[in-house]
Structure 1
Amino acid sequence: MKKIYLPLALAATLALGACSSDNVVDNGGSNPIDLSKGGFVKMSLNLPTDNNRGSRATLDDGLDNEYGIKNAYLVLFEGKDEHNKENEATFKGAYELKNSDFSNFEAVGDDPNHVTITKRIAFANGTKPQSGRKLFALVVLNNNGLFTVDATKHELTFASNVTPGEYATTKNFVNFSKAIASTSANGTTPFASNVATNGIFMTNAPLSTQPGGATDPGAIKTLADVTDNIYTTEAEAKSKPAAEIYVERAVAKVTVHSGNGTLEANKDKAASKISYKLYNWAVDNTNKKSYIVRQYDNNWNKLYSDKAADANKYRFVWSSPVNPNATNDNKLYRTAFAQDPEYATTTANADNYNRIASNASMSTAFGNSTAFGDEHPQYCNENTFQVTAQNQDQTTRVVLGVQMSEPGKDTYGADLYTINGNKEVVYTKATLAERLKNILLNEPAVKTWIKTHTTYSFDIAFDNTTAGATTITKATFKDNTTAAGAPDEKLESFTPEQLNKALPNIVRYKGGVAYYAVRIKHFGDSDTPWNVAGQGVKAGVNSLIYPSATGTNIDWFLGRYGVVRNNWYDISVNKIQTLGDATIPAFTNDPDDVLENYISVSINVLSWSKHTQDAEL
């Protein structure tokens, strides 16, 4: 089990000041509690760990600091005692849970990821809940400086990098949840600005009241109803059941595993093998904005794919409960998708994404890393879209830098070249020069020069030292028999037109590094099977690449690509079939799936969650 790092004990009694004798709440039909004297609310906080299993993805512990709690806040809302009315619940107060509040340890068995809180509360504004109203709780862990809380008035104020939207005028839960946090100038997600120091921002997870998978799921709830978990005394609270709260991280996590192998090149040559190894990587095209709380569309529960197996038919909700020991009426199930602030956008706007420029060096990219494996993750905001927008320029991707050896050798670091876009034949500078020499030997001036210079060497020079398109600027034949002290006998009076005609469109792979873009799949092939033959898939727009049914199951491929918070996308390269791009691959508005792939990868999705994906390059 993963250790939880708290600046406080795992469970405790938390005290808040009371303000008014008018604060009364009807707790489950028992005697009303006068909050002016302090009411004790008991909550059981469940961190997103491997004990909350489901069938949709594999769960994994992750790193220790991904579970650390640096600070904690309780945000209370008051709403109607009616089903599915939590969005209308109004803000009642926010309370910081300080270190000193966690002073009394309460044993919770052998599960260190389960935090029980017994907190004394009172409304600061002196108003009492109306008859028939309920109290709902949202827990925020590791606020990363996105808001502050007034300890006296219990008011919550967002930081400058958070846009409150409609919450500024109407303080209810739905508007609070849709406050938008923006990334910093360097592209860092505000929810994980410094994980070791600040932890990862977490809030309540939207959960379903019925299982998905093979069955039509139920309603969705995010807030925890704590009305029946408020007691007059601390002793009574500790002896009673707690309100269960399940939190999730507000970021997606990506890791890449190092790998190596060989690919075929120069198939007409004896030295046909090229070895490769992963060189560097970065997460690219990440969303600049994200909601404070995950947004889930209840209409997704009705969507299904009759192309998927029965067990995965209703893919948006897991089939195994997060609380398997609860009664059937109280079991809750993980939801598997989200809407981000750009979800309804059908045409990509580059200003909405953190992107690596196609002509930039990978070394200057935010997040560029040469470290691989589970110990070296990168975090980003969730990024989702409709099927009609499931295009390469709207999809978060991983750019992989893969270093290639010289053909037929196992040494790395030399520049490599291709000609006229033919990636099946790869040259070094020496073999490129040899090809140019053989072409120039047919020039009349060269034929005349060679008659008197039978022993010679040949060399070429380029116009730049950057990756990408390059031009040979000079070709030199040099006599190797010139006497010591005598002037070199050279022939290099070739025009640029001659050289360009001989070897047009040369592309240089600096240091032998080729780049590949791997778009991250969320549901992937198991839940959204993409069958080229069976579904009549053909090149074109999304309606051709992702043919849809009609009626309730129209969105067969919704969520096939994208990244969702609290999901871990782990990428392993299985096979590379051909050379990639010499520079960062450019963005296009083509559909995410292509009919021909050059890299095979596995994306493993875990909830933590970790996603594994296969791709062929």
Structure 2
Amino acid sequence: MIKEEKKQTKYLLTFKTIGTMKMRKFFALVLTGALFAACSTDDMVEVDNGVITTGEKDAWVYLNIVTANGSMTRNLNGIQNGTDKESKVTDVMAIFFDGHVDDHGTNASAANPNVVNVGTMILGTPGQPSGAQGAAFEISKDAKSILVIVNPTAKFKAQINSKTKFAEINAAIAEDIADVAKDDNFMMTNAKGALEPSDADGVGETLKTYPTAGAAEGAPLTIKVDRVAAKIRVYNDVDVATNTLEVSDFGWVENATNKKYFPISQRIATWNEDPGNTGDGALGTFRAPYDQYKIGSYRVDPNYLAGKNSNAFTTAAYTDEYNAIADGGAITDATWSNGGNAGTWRGSATSAYCLENTQVAEKNSHAWTTHVIVKAKVYPKTIPSGPTTINSSDGDYTNDVTLNGTQDLIAYGSGIYTYTTYLNFVYEELVGYFMSPDESSYSTPFTDALNAFLAGNAVAITGTRGDSKAGAMVTADGLRTAFAGKTLAAGTVGTFKYYAVSTSYYKIMIKHDDTAAAMNALGEFGVVRNSVYDVRIGSISNLGYPEIPGPDETKDEEDKAWLSVKIDINPWTWYTQTEHL
């Protein structure tokens, strides 16, 4: 059951005519959608009261836009109301065209209707939940469809200036998210992802206009609108009392976010939504609550097709499309710029906005889809002080070492070490190495891994083979001292990983429509407009990356050493996933 309290905001609509077309048609418009009432097609009223089809009659009408206010309540699972700052309407534009187009994102030869009117709806009482009644307006007799833009950005207004075609109006815009998702000024457009109006199946139909104000008011055109931005929230739900590792200093940031967006983006079905895949285990139904036409919850963004066939994610062609932290980078103003979020590690239960980012199925990887980077100090409570196999006569490793998150850590093989305890392993294997005959193949994996990590700063392993234990201990201790004098930085070489100040990083691809029936299917990953993605960290049982992992072709299903994923989809539209790291 949905319980709603609504208030009406009235608008005055003024237009400029494109060309010299005579303006003769009139209609009423009601905007609704994710920020507004969650209407279904049953809510739309159509009254045959002298519909104008020839453009030869005059009519008068006023416009009212029904917006949700803070008192709206819902008991509909999976929908979250926007805050007042996310839902306020300060400016509305309407652009009318002489035709329809639905496949504008995936079809290069899609129809390209002409602009016939551009109008600005002026608030009677700006910023308030109610205002003065709007005035009558008229539109061109050639108008067949409409695009509504709530809170249009300055770049969008500049883009449409003097444009005459849909493709020009809806061209990709490069813009900071801070301008698209600004407090009290979130940009919103047709939720359908195409021009309106449409029939019950989402097929475009011609605008119905009326000869009198009363007739138009009795049959308003209802259009849902979506916020252009997506919203990400990350929660640290780790129970430190039961978690196998200590976890502290939690932070997160989004990575590989889109720099461009379409004013309206075409909807498409995910693999899981496509009824044609039910035989392979897909759900085969459409669940997004504002997808009233059952088209699909996924979207086609500006780089969904173009630019996704290259793996050159370290080139300018990549950085022109995405905000991304490079491999081993740092969260600083110099390396991270994403709409006012520069240099910020966010805490648990905080949110960030980003532009929608989608991709074809074969590009479901960290390079191409928006993901979250989590940072935390992760460490065991205690670790052994040395090996159980002791070759020396002075090695005493009976007392464990207690960790507190301030130590640098090494992960090698199945063990976790401080640099000091790791060198105890190096020492004991070197004692055995120098005691062994020269011709033997005595292995020194701890020493070899450390020297590989040190690379050009490695310690030369020299000394007498087949030596006595005492002699071998002296040689090994000298080499241990030489290793101890080296300065190590966070990084990975082979299976040797060095963690500065016990800090691990984890990358989590955000799941849109996850299903166990398919691997890396279309729509499984990505973020789409007007959706909230909650990422909950349920547990952390392994150390992560020693450095911030940059974009690469790793796919989520291939990264299971650290991730076990559960997604609850509760169709702003609300998606939740729980991560065990």
Query: Which residue matches 2:114?
Result: 90
Identify the match of residue 514 of structure 2 among 511, 517, 524: 524
Indicate yes or no: 2:93 matched with 1:73.
Answer: yes
Point out the more displaced range, 292-301 or 46-55.
Answer: 46-55
Query: Which residue matches 2:149?
Result: 140
Pairs within 5 Å for 1:544-559: 557-559=521-523
Query: Which residue matches 2:227?
Result: 249
Instruction: Give the partner amino acid of 2:277.
Output: S
SS of 2:180's equivalent in the other structure is: helix
Identify the match of residue 256 of structure 2 among 275, 285, 304: 285
SS of 1:511's equivalent in the other structure is: helix
Instruction: Give the partner amino acid of 1:304.
Output: G
Distance 1:382-1:610 versus aligned 2 partners, 3 A rule = same
Q: Tell me by how many angstroms 1:284 deviates.
A: 0.6
Instruction: Give the partner amino acid of 2:507.
Output: A
Query: Which residue matches 2:309?
Result: 346
Q: Tell me by how many angstroms 1:70 deviates.
A: 2.9
Partners of 2:126 and 2:205 lie apart in 1 by 21
Query: Which residue matches 2:165?
Result: 172
Query: Which residue matches 1:565?
Result: 529
Identify the match of residue 378 of structure 1 among 352, 371, 391: 352
Pairs within 5 Å for 1:461-540: 494=479, 507-525=497-515, 529-530=517-518
Query: Which residue matches 2:202?
Result: 220
Q: Tell me by how many angstroms 1:576 deviates.
A: 2.2
Partners of 1:608 and 1:181 lie apart in 2 by 23
Q: After superposition, give the CA deviation of every residue in 1:271-309 in whole Å (9 maximum; x if it has no partner).
A: xx5311461111111122211111134898865322676
Distance 1:181-1:604 versus aligned 2 partners, 3 A rule = farther
Partners of 2:55 and 2:254 lie apart in 1 by 52
Q: Is the 8 A contact 1:12 1:102 kept in 2?
A: no
Indicate yes or no: 2:173 matched with 1:181.
Answer: yes
Partners of 1:404 and 1:302 lie apart in 2 by 41
Pairs within 5 Å for 1:124-523: 128-129=140-141, 133-148=142-157, 157-158=158-159, 168=163, 171-177=164-170, 179-184=171-176, 188=177, 190-192=179-181, 195-196=182-183, 199-206=185-192, 219-220=201-202, 226-228=207-209, 230-233=210-213, 237-238=216-217, 240-261=218-239, 274-277=245-248, 279-297=250-268, 304-306=276-278, 312-314=283-285, 317-318=286-287, 332-333=293-294, 335-344=296-305, 345-350=308-313, 351=318, 352-363=321-332, 365-366=336-337, 367=341, 369-374=344-349, 376-405=350-379, 407-408=381-382, 412-418=404-410, 421-422=412-413, 424-432=414-422, 434-436=424-426, 438=428, 494=479, 507-523=497-513
Q: Is the 8 A contact 2:299 2:528 kept in 1?
A: yes
Distance 1:570-1:24 versus aligned 2 partners, 3 A rule = same
Partners of 1:77 and 1:355 lie apart in 2 by 37
Distance 1:339-1:396 versus aligned 2 partners, 3 A rule = same
Distance 1:17-1:290 versus aligned 2 partners, 3 A rule = closer
Instruction: Give the partner amino acid of 2:120.
Output: E
Q: Tell me by how many angstroms 1:565 deviates.
A: 1.2
Q: Is the 8 A contact 1:574 1:616 kept in 2?
A: yes
Query: Which residue matches 1:213?
Result: none
Distance 1:242-1:42 versus aligned 2 partners, 3 A rule = farther
Distance 1:4-1:442 versus aligned 2 partners, 3 A rule = farther
Q: Tell me by how many angstroms 1:202 deviates.
A: 0.6
Partners of 1:529 and 1:48 lie apart in 2 by 40
In the alignment of these two chains, the number of paired residues is 480
Distance 1:336-1:321 versus aligned 2 partners, 3 A rule = closer
Instruction: Give the partner amino acid of 1:76.
Output: F
Instruction: Give the partner amino acid of 1:381.
Output: L
Q: Is the 8 A contact 1:43 1:244 kept in 2?
A: no
Q: Tell me by how many angstroms 1:382 deviates.
A: 1.4
Q: Tell me by how many angstroms 1:436 deviates.
A: 5.0
Distance 1:245-1:518 versus aligned 2 partners, 3 A rule = same
SS of 1:304's equivalent in the other structure is: helix
Q: Is the 8 A contact 1:416 1:428 kept in 2?
A: yes
SS of 2:558's equivalent in the other structure is: coil
Instruction: Give the partner amino acid of 2:14.
Output: L
Partners of 2:542 and 2:60 lie apart in 1 by 67
Query: Which residue matches 2:393?
Result: none
Instruction: Give the partner amino acid of 1:11.
Output: T
Partners of 2:231 and 2:24 lie apart in 1 by 43
Q: Tell me by how many angstroms 1:603 deviates.
A: 4.5
Q: After superposition, give the CA deviation of every residue in 1:582-604 in whole Å (9 maximum; x if it has no partner).
A: 00124332433227332335445
Q: Is the 8 A contact 1:40 1:237 kept in 2?
A: yes
Q: Tell me by how many angstroms 1:25 deviates.
A: 2.9
Instruction: Give the partner amino acid of 2:236.
Output: S
Distance 1:298-1:91 versus aligned 2 partners, 3 A rule = farther
Q: After superposition, give the CA deviation of every residue in 1:19-58 in whole Å (9 maximum; x if it has no partner).
A: 8994223887546798997742646556799989999x82
TM-score of the two chains, using structure 1 as the length reference: 0.63
Q: After superposition, give the CA deviation of every residue in 1:484-526 in whole Å (9 maximum; x if it has no partner).
A: xxxxxxx99659987799x99664322211011101111012x
Q: Is the 8 A contact 1:255 1:378 kept in 2?
A: yes
Identify the match of residue 83 of structure 2 among 46, 57, 63: 63
Q: Is the 8 A contact 2:102 2:194 kept in 1?
A: no
Partners of 1:47 and 1:84 lie apart in 2 by 31
SS of 1:305's equivalent in the other structure is: helix
Partners of 2:94 and 2:480 lie apart in 1 by 75
Query: Which residue matches 2:387?
Result: none
Partners of 1:386 and 1:146 lie apart in 2 by 28
Q: Tell me by how many angstroms 1:339 deviates.
A: 0.9
Distance 1:73-1:260 versus aligned 2 partners, 3 A rule = same
Instruction: Give the partner amino acid of 1:122.
Output: E
- Identify unmatched segments of 5+ residues in structure 1: 108-115, 149-156, 210-216, 266-272, 323-330, 445-462, 475-490, 531-544, 547-556
SS of 1:593's equivalent in the other structure is: helix
Indicate yes or no: 2:131 matched with 1:120.
Answer: no
Partners of 1:182 and 1:135 lie apart in 2 by 29
Partners of 2:150 and 2:3 lie apart in 1 by 17
SS of 2:154's equivalent in the other structure is: coil
Partners of 1:231 and 1:10 lie apart in 2 by 24
Partners of 1:340 and 1:48 lie apart in 2 by 30
Indicate yes or no: 2:56 matched with 1:40.
Answer: no
Pairs within 5 Å for 1:534-613: 557-594=521-558, 596-605=560-569, 608-613=572-577
Distance 1:563-1:4 versus aligned 2 partners, 3 A rule = farther
Partners of 2:73 and 2:423 lie apart in 1 by 61
- Identify unmatched segments of 5+ residues in structure 2: 28-47, 105-109, 383-400, 435-449, 461-475
TM-score of the two chains, using structure 2 as the length reference: 0.67
Partners of 1:469 and 1:52 lie apart in 2 by 62
SS of 2:325's equivalent in the other structure is: coil
Identity %: 18
Q: After superposition, give the CA deviation of every residue in 1:421-452 in whole Å (9 maximum; x if it has no partner).
A: 43x322234434544555677799xxxxxxxx
Partners of 2:408 and 2:128 lie apart in 1 by 65
SS of 2:246's equivalent in the other structure is: strand
Partners of 1:93 and 1:189 lie apart in 2 by 29
Partners of 1:13 and 1:205 lie apart in 2 by 20
